[in-house]
Amino acid sequence: MKFYMTPGSCSTGIHILLEELELVFEVYLVNLMAGDHLKPENLAVNPKATIPTLVRDDGSSVTEFQAIAWWLARSYPKAGLLPAGIENEVRIIETLDYVVGTMHGQGYTRIFTTANYSPNAAEHEAIQARGREIVSKGFVLINELLEGKEYVVGTFSIADAALFYVEFWADKIKLTLPPNCLAHYQRMLQRPAVRRVLAEEGYRV
């Protein structure tokens, strides 16, 4: 398989899942700042010009974090990345959607890609503040979800890989994590697959 990713991005979560599964894959680095995602060779595998992208053995591409994570979990069920039971599945989908769609899609994008929301520099501080507000509210809700649990549904799942990357970003921008989220983040940092991924992506564990 071929994995198109950007170090330190949301694709880090998928990278973690690939490492957890001990799969063999080729890594293709996509430099978003340099516009690699808009190059013809990248658009050929992902016309959306986004990351991550996973090109499977049959040559077909899967895009979007949730879809790739779900495909990996269903394709390798013995790994337990999608714990059995409809309640677990519902909570995993719920968490994936909120983390990726709201915390990342509405919150962090305002912090990291502020100019996309307004070309007026005078408005950027307010936009970033709103982004931090969305992310902080998200962590408050996730903190409640994690009460009394080590992972989102008790055992490690694809939802935890998504939660990790937004916790990782919070760490990088010095956003304080509430207690249960901080404990989850620290727990994730001790997983061998996570440590390997961060080292491979150029981060000190």
pLDDT in tens, 46-98: 999 999 999 999 999 999 999 999 999 999 999 999 999 999 999 999 999 99
DSSP codes, 121-155 = GGGHHHHHHHHHHHHHHHHHHHHHHTTT-SSTBSB
The encoded tokens of residue 162 equal 């998504």
Mean pLDDT confidence for 188-196: 97
| Residues forming a β-bridge with 3 | 27, 54
Place of tokens 């069920």: 77
Q: How many residues are there in the chain? A: 205
Closest CA to 15 of 202, 198, 203: 198
Q: Could you tell me the domains of the chain?
A: 2-79 (3.40.30.10), 86-191 (1.20.1050.10)
Whole-number pLDDT of residue 32: 87
Whole-number pLDDT of residue 130: 98
The encoded tokens of residue 85 equal 């039971």
